[in-house]
Amino acid sequence: MPAPAAGRPSTTSRLEATFARLRGRGERALVTYFTAGDPSLADTRLLVVEAERRGADVVELGVPFSDPLADGPVIQRAAMRALAGGTTVLRVLETVATLRAEVSVPLVLLTYYNPVLAFGLKAFARTAVDAGVDGVIVADLPPEEAAPLAAAAEAAGLDVIHLVAPTSTPSRVRLIARRSRGFIYVVSLTGVTGERPELPPDLAARIRALRLVTTKPVCIGFGISTPAQVAAIGRLADGAIVRLVEERAGSPTLVEDVGTFIAELKAPLRAGLGDPPQTPPPGAGFRESTQTPPPGAGSGDAPQTSPPGAGLRGSFQTSPAIRTRS
């Protein structure tokens, strides 16, 4: 592994500093997602650099895993392609170490517990921070069972970010709010990741309830993939980018197309967006999108019209951030 560039700041983390800066400007954060290694790790590096340039505030990198139980077909296929291409946890961390010399945005890994456990909890946390990783989301690790990883992560300076589901009880929401570091990931809907035609009608109420028990940044993910949905929520973009990467793999315009889509997603999140996010208005889904898909955009898995650009994943923050993912 190459010698790491700048590691984790010793006092204020990059995640904390990013959310504080955006809050001070009245902006919402856009968190974009890429499956690391799809279509290649070299492409992943270029995509992350372009994502920062076009407005992404935080970038999530999915660590490909053979059994991605929280992910829908688009990200499942991306993970399989990345694994077939030889992507491993160590190679993802090496890519992050290279990226850290090129980008300043916070980098968060989205993974499952098995690869982390196999790597070794202490070794994973230390290597991740040395490479320049700021946080980790472990999709299948409930907070009640996360103490060993949390201890290793805290010692290394790595934020462990927990997920709040639509089915989380009030007491469990409070537990997650206490134990999550960096931000709290709100899963917008039940089921797997993927693009949806409409946003859940109770999402705004769930965000308001969460804000009653925490001042930590809140990010919203799963099923957000168009500029209209991003505007309705205030921060979130899930499946469109990954699907775009899938459709444009091998194209000389891949990076440019993804960058254009990221810029469109970020536009509604700039200063002036109301807080808290309002209940999504009619027309916040794919079918009502007024954007014109770029030439050659495929339909992917979803029956809805393809959003402009490509595959992204959304994020959240407090003000909620938007996370884009499929």
Residue whose structure tokens are 């407005």: 55
Tens-digit pLDDT profile for residues 267-287: 877 865 444 333 333 333 322
Whether 241 has a pLDDT exceeding 80, the answer reads no
Whether 29 has a pLDDT exceeding 90, the answer reads no
Task: Give the pLDDT score at 201.
Answer: 57
Chain mean pLDDT for the chain: 76
Burial track 270-288 (b if 16+ CB lie within 10 A, e otherwise): eeebeebbeebeeebbbee
pTM of the model: 0.77
Better pLDDT: 262 or 10? 262
Task: Give the pLDDT score at 23.
Answer: 87
Task: Give the pLDDT score at 310.
Answer: 30
User: Residue 9, Cβ neighbours under 10 Å: how many?
Assistant: 12
Average pLDDT over residues 146-169: 94
Average pLDDT over residues 250-274: 82
Burial track 189-227 (b if 16+ CB lie within 10 A, e otherwise): beebbbbbbbbbeebbebbeebbeebebbbbbbbbbbbb
Whether 233 has a pLDDT exceeding 50, the answer reads yes
> Which of 217, 175, 187 lies closest to 15 in space, CA to CA?
217
Whether 1 has a pLDDT exceeding 70, the answer reads no
> Catalytic residues, which ones?
60, 71
Task: Give the pLDDT score at 38.
Answer: 95
